[in-house]
Amino acid sequence: MLVTGQRRAVLIAGPTASGKSALALARARASGGLIVNTDAVQVYDVLRVVTARPGAADEALAEHALYGTVSPATRFSTGEWLRAVQAIIGETDPDRELICVGGTGLYFDALINGFADVPEISPEILRSVQSELEASSESQRMALLQAEDPETARRLKVADPQRVIRALAVKRQTGRPLSSFQNAQQPGPIRDWEIERMVLWPERDVLRARIAQRFSGMFENGAVEEVEALMSLNLDPSLPAMKAIGVPEIGQWLEGTMAEDEAIERATIATHQYAKRQRTWFRNRMGDWPRLGLAGAPL
């Protein structure tokens, strides 16, 4: 699907292990385009293998941006990622194709539709709200949200726990309802570009096999050393990098509380669950994007 515009972007989305990076690399080598990371965990330094970031050989074949540029001690928000992309756009030749590739649906949405740049919420406030709502029913959550942020409550079809927690935390930290930030949302930076969209959509059994093979390979090819390096930093366990799939599991193995086989199995299961959540997002929010198979062929 193409949208007429002055500049050109190729958006390659898909669940983890679906072959996105390989497709992006092939595209970049053919067009001379710039590959831009559109994945929330691949921005973090230290975790190249665990997050399946492109390797040095791939980076030598085409220019990559926003991979491994953020300290794992940082909570890198969607707003910060979007500002980084805007800076890249400003520094890139207008005739050069931008190839945005990753598995974070919210990033793709922000590129086109913009993003409500809500201030970062403190972990203490988040934990407080989470504790308050831990045993609440949907009706109780909605009633609380209606009392504190009626406009956001009106916009939500169901009182999804995570969305209610976020809305309440925003209101309690900033004194402003989440809806006020959403109302001030600016258009996405590539909204008026010529955009080619695609979602890689391999068969479930094929994807499951690729996920299992990938994590076994990670364990043998540097993931353990990466987690050791990360743990040596003594970071807050609630940080996104500390919760990246594979980090808790390998960490428990290193601490002697989990066997190697169990660590691999649990990380593989967690990756399957993550891929399922990604597919749900793409199905619901990118339903009109063309679906492609593993080799980039139309389905």
From the annotation, which residues make up the binding site for substrate?
A: 16-21
Strand ranges for the chain from DSSP E? 8-13, 34-37, 64-65, 98-102, 194-200, 291-292
> For 11, phi and psi rounded to 5 degrees?
-110, 115
Half-sphere exposure at residue 63, Cβ-oriented, CA atoms within 13 angstroms = 10
Residues 100 and 36 sit within 8 Å (Cβ to Cβ)? yes
Query: What's the rounded Cα separation, in Å, for the pair 15 and 199?
Result: 9
Query: What's the rounded Cα separation, in Å, for the pair 275 and 297?
Result: 20
Residues 43 and 37 sit within 8 Å (Cβ to Cβ)? yes
Write down how long the chain is. 299
Residues annotated within the binding site are 14-21
Residues contacting 28, CB < 8 A, separation 6+? 34, 35, 61, 62, 63, 99
Residues annotated within the binding site for ATP are 14-21
